[in-house]
A = this chain, B = another copy of it.
C-alpha cells in the first residue's frame, strides 16, 4: 500500500504524505468523518485542494492511511514475558481504546479489506495463535474469528461513541435512549432483546469486550 514513499529529502514545511495524514487525523478527531473535506484539509495545510493529490490518490486512500497511523501506534511490540493469551488480550484492548479515542477509525477500518491496517492486527494475532499451539491448518479460521470480533465490537463501540457525541449530550444518555427503544419492542417477537435492555444501560463496554475475547480463546483451547 505504501509503495510511493517519497525517496528524497524535502523542504522543511513542504507538503508530504505524512503531514497530510497528520492534518487529516486532527480534523477527523475534532469534527468526525463529515468534517474531513479537501477544503478544510487544504485550509489546515495552508495550500490549495489540488496540491493534496500529489501525495495521496483520493479520499478513500487518505482515510485508510489515517487509519493505519492509528493502528500502527496501537499495535506495540509484545511484552517479552507475557503468555499468548495475555498478549492477545493486551492487543485487543489497545485496539478497543484506540477506536474509542478515534471513533471515525472504526468505520474506516472495516472498509479497509485486506489492506495495511488490518494486516497489522492479523499479523499480531496470528503470531500469538502460533505460540498458543493452534495447528497451521486451523490458524486461518481462528485468526478470522478473533480479528473480526476485535474489529466488529470495537467498531460498534466506536459507532456508539460517535452517535452519542452527535445525538446526545453524553454517552450515558445515549445508552439510556437505545435501552428505552428496546424496551418498547414487541414483547413476544423481541422477548430476548427486551430482556437485555437493562444490561445494555448498566454494562461496562470494555469488560464485555474482554469477556468475548475469552470465549474465543477458550473455544480455541478446547479444540487444541
Q: Which of B107, B119, B203, B220 contacts A215 (CB 8 A)?
A: B220
Contacts A126-B193, A142-B212 aside, 6 further interface pairs with beta carbons under 8 A come to A114-B160, A119-B190, A144-B208, A145-B215, A218-B222, A219-B220
Instruction: Tell me, rounded to whole Å, the shortest Cβ–Cβ distance linking A63 to chain B.
Output: 13
Contact residue range for chain A?
A: 35 or more
- The winner among A127, A144, A203, A223 for most chain B CB atoms within 10 A is A144
Q: Scoring A residues 141 to 170 as 1 if CB is less than 8 Å from chain B, else 0, what string do you get?
A: 111110011011101100110010000000
The quantity of this chain's copies bound in the complex is 2
A130, B222: Cβ atoms closer than 8 Å: no
Across the interface, do B208 and A140 meet the contact criterion of CB distance under 8 Å? yes
Contact (Cβ within 8 A) B216 A215 = yes
Chain A 69-89: CB-based contact to B (< 8 A → 1; otherwise 0): 000000000000000000000
Complex contacts, A127 vs chain B, CB 8 Å: 191-192
Interface residues of A (CB under 8 A from B): 107, 110-111, 113-114, 119, 122-123, 126-127, 130, 136, 138-145, 148-149, 151-153, 155-156, 159-160, 163, 178, 181-182, 185, 189-193, 195-196, 199-200, 203, 208-209, 211-212, 214-223
A159 pairs with B111, CB closer than 8 A:
yes
Q: Which residues of B contact A181 (CB under 8 A)?
A: 114
